[in-house]
Amino acid sequence: MHMNLLDMNTFFFRSTFPLILLTLFHNIMTSSSDLENPLAASYAPLPDGELPAGNNPTIRRPRKAALFLVVSAFLVLALVALIAGNGPVLRKELNTEVAPPSTTSTPEKVTPLSRGVEKGVSEKSFRPLLGADNSYPWSSNMLDWQRTAFHFQPKKNWMNDPNGPVFYKGWYHLFYQYHPDAPVWGKIVWGHAVSKDLINWRHLPIAMETDQWYDEQGVWTGSATILPDGQLVVLYTGSTNESVQVQNLAYPADPSDPLLIKWVKYPGNPVLVPPPGIDTKDFRDPTTAWKTPEGKWRITIGSKINKTGISLVYDTEDFKTFELLDGLLHAVPGTGMWECVDFYPVSKQNENGLDTSVDGPGVKHVVKASMDDDRNDYYAIGTYDAHKGKWTPDNPTLDVGIGLRYDYGIYYASKTFYDQSKQRRVLWSWIKETDTEASDINKGWASLMGVPRTIVLDKKTQSNIIQWPVEEINRLRTNMTVFKNIVVEAGSIVPLSIPAASQLDIVAEFEIDEKTVNRLNGDDVGYDCVKNGGAAERGALGPFGFSVLATEGLKEHTPVYFYVAKGVDGNLQTFFCADQARSSTANDVDKSIYGSIVPVLKGEKLSMRILVDHSIVESFAQEGRTCITSRVYPTKTINNNARLFLFNNATATKVTASINVWQMNSAHI
Amino acid sequence: MKFFTLFIFLSLQAPLMVIGDRRLIESTCKATPSYNLCLSTLLSNPKSSSGDVSDLGLIMVGATKVKATLAIQRIKTLYRSHPELRRSLNECAQVYMAVVKADVPSAVQALDGGQPKFAEDGMADTAVEAESCERSFSGRGLKSPLTQMNTDIKNVANVARAIIRMLL
């Protein structure tokens, strides 16, 4: 990219005579015109050795002088070229002049001119430095406990985005961004696992390696499409040998193999390169394809122009040649790069999911994008115009990237697929670690997949989706404890006696005291889970909920709770939050508070479901209208020390709770 | 004589580029939490003159690595001279090994490959690791012999992070 002047000089001496002439002529032209423009002049090599170290536009030479100098330079160069031929000796001399001995403290290895030497991480790197005396503050007991029991993860090392999820010949396939050498992001390949039930998994060999020039720097995120004849194709982003983001086609080597172990990359790859106007590093994560009214296939790919997040649209008939549509699927100013765009229909009337190609008056369309800027997955519901290839949000104030999120905790780079065996749309998502890299190295692994969720349109509100853990997860339930109509007075806490508390499925309904609510004056003080001090800050009608992964005495605990606020108009607003501030006595883990508003309709009870699985807690309010995924790294609340509490930190209302708590078996992963 | 002048002129072309791109360096550094640290670190590396923002990010990541490597060397020396600090020094060695062996190479790969968010993660982690090292002493009521180094590393990592964010 940058041909610096050292290279230019070298180039002069190596090139043939006419080329020197041409280049110099070019220099004459640019030098003279640059002199008219002080700003440009500061970037151009002026023929003046006395320029001070700074942009000084006042020092100028008349054009004639410049011309004279450059013409002289030409003569010198010509002479030198004649005498020195290829001129290695002279080049060396110039070298010493142009690049003085480095005074920098930056090592050669990581500086731009020698990229690649030091990048990448290998497992061999992590040998202990000072011998056997391992006194890392996180004991192996604590770190071992963090490994989950029913969340998908590879045996070891780094994972990120879910890729190409699909149901094929009786098996659920999950591919994923995988760095097989270390528990940190690096040169990514496609990991692969299969399942009969989305819960128990069998790990398979790496499906795609970085073995081609067009994916040499990484086999990045992609999606699968099932063709009408049952064939499977995958489009994925490759980062080329020059780190250009391109789209590639791959397909199973043996379509009759239900495990899809071997994959073939199309010899004509890449099938798509960044179009004009799009940066070579802003073109990634193709979607599953869907049918156009003309019978072609259509995909969308996220990108950005300046700070506007956009979604490019391509039509294809064979997945090998593509036509870029003039317009965009959608664009939202100020949202930055859109990663992992997802696009799918949801039924307005029915509870089943829909194949990605379904369109018509009975459906709405969801656009989801993962915001590179804030690392959250945002979605919006709207209307798709198949003829124009354009989507419009129902509510522009809740557009993609500025409105609703799938999840208000840790949840990124998600992707849905249509499960034709159960007529449902299923959502996968990458859940990263929020502890330190040093801990991840000690654990030997980093990242989980969230429990897969079904997605449907909320038929009651019509303005949000409902996400719910797939029904198969219920098969892990065992040993249920029931707590019926427990009254929790304002400002009190109730220990719930259960056999163990590291692997739980908690389902609960709450009622606040109607008389208290009615007699309260409303106020116009807005509430915000994140800004309002967490579970310790008390209001008249909240917070109340559960403290999970809690110690006796609450030295460590993670509250998941509702907070109800009564407005001046007398209406209630309900918030759903998770507070990690006291989740661990360790100081090197993230302790954010998460949450958002949750719609509660007239006559509805407040309800929540919490899946606790060691270092991950997934919480769902009002049957999945608002969701929060937390990562938690306690130091004391592990193994037999973990407890579950019910609490009501409200000042005015009592709360009545009915609760089912199941122990969760471990899945085979 | 003229020929000599011309050689001077030719050989000064590269330093003049420094002048040219100082504007990019200055405007980039203005958007970081520590302008002076940013400026001095970048200007001390001649490669900053011909770099884009991604290159500036790489230089700053490189500076983080240099400082963390120096810290590891210092830790090794202290480990021999101050046996009473060994538990803390061991923790520091582990966190800075994570910086040098995982955060930095991952960040370099991410900047090279156009996935700056992973580079940001690496530098964010570096700052946290530096705090962990410092706490490994203060948490045991010990006086940290590495306070200055830990602060330096944290500051450089935060500058690197700010530069990387411009690439998102």
pLDDT at A388 over 70: yes
Pick from A47, A111, A281: which is nearest to B114 by CB? A281
pLDDT at A103 over 60: no
For residues A638 and A500, give the distance between their C-alpha atoms in angstroms, rounded to a whole number. Answer: 10
- CB burial of A86-118 (b: ≥16 within 10 Å; e: otherwise) equals ebeebbeebeebbeeeeebebbebbbbeebeeb
* Strand, helix or coil for residue A143: helix
CB contact under 8 A, B89 and A73: no
Pick from B10, B45, B117: which is nearest to A111 by CB? B45
CB contact under 8 A, A125 and B79: no
Choose among A389, A343, A384: nearest CA to A366. A343
Which helix (H) or strand (E) element contains residue A20?
helix A17-34
Q: Which of A130, A181, A590 to mutate to test the interface with B (most CBs of B within 10 A)?
A: A130
Contacts of B134 in chain A (CB under 8 A): none
Question: What pLDDT is stored for residue A130 in this prediction?
Answer: 65
Considering A9-13, A528-532, B106-110, the range whose residues carry the highest mean pLDDT is B106-110
- Nearest Cα residue in chain A from B66: A106
Domains of chain B as residue ranges with CATH: 2-165 (1.20.140.40)
CB contact under 8 A, A4 and B55: no
Instruction: Kindly report, residue by residue over A400-449, the tens digit of the pLDDT.
Output: 999 999 999 999 999 999 999 999 999 999 999 999 999 999 999 999 99
Pick from A47, A49, A106: which is nearest to B63 by CB? A106
- Nearest Cα residue in chain A from B80: A130
pLDDT at A247 over 70: yes
Q: Per the structure block, which two tokens stand in for B123?
A: 């530098």
Contacts of B118 in chain A (CB under 8 A): 185
Question: Which conformational region is residue A479 in: left (phi greater than 0), alpha (psi within -120 to 50 degrees), or beta?
Answer: left
CB contact under 8 A, B112 and A1: no
Ranking A44-53, A279-288, A483-492, B25-34 by mean pLDDT, the lowest is A44-53
Choose among A515, A509, A516, A588: nearest CA to A544. A509
Contacts of A115 in chain B (CB under 8 A): 58, 108, 112
CB contact under 8 A, A587 and B72: no
Active site members of A: 161
- Nearest Cα residue in chain B from A305: B168
pLDDT at A464 over 90: yes
Chain B: give the shortest CA distance to residue A519, in Å: 48
Distance of CA A48 to the CA centre of its chain: 51
Identify residue A2 by its one-letter amino acid code. H
- Nearest Cα residue in chain A from B72: A129
CB contact under 8 A, B129 and A436: yes
Pick from B8, B14, B136: which is nearest to A6 by CB? B14
Instruction: Kindly report, residue by residue over B63-121, the tens digit of the pLDDT.
Output: 999 999 999 999 999 999 999 999 999 999 999 999 999 999 999 999 998 899 999 99
User: Cβ contacts of residue A549 below 8 Å, gap of 6+?
Assistant: A501, A502, A556, A557, A558, A583, A612, A617, A632, A634, A637, A642
Distance of CA A99 to the CA centre of its chain: 41
For residues A190 and A221, give the distance between their C-alpha atoms in angstroms, rounded to a whole number. Answer: 9
CB contact under 8 A, A76 and B7: yes
Contacts of B45 in chain A (CB under 8 A): 102, 104-106, 111
Pick from A136, A184, A217: which is nearest to B102 by CB? A184
CB contact under 8 A, B129 and A337: no
Considering chain A, what is the average pLDDT of its residues? 85
Domains of chain A as residue ranges with CATH: 33-66+472-664 (2.60.120.560)
pLDDT at B12 over 60: no
Chain B: give the shortest CA distance to residue A273, in Å: 15
Q: Note the pTM of the prediction, 2 decimals.
A: 0.84
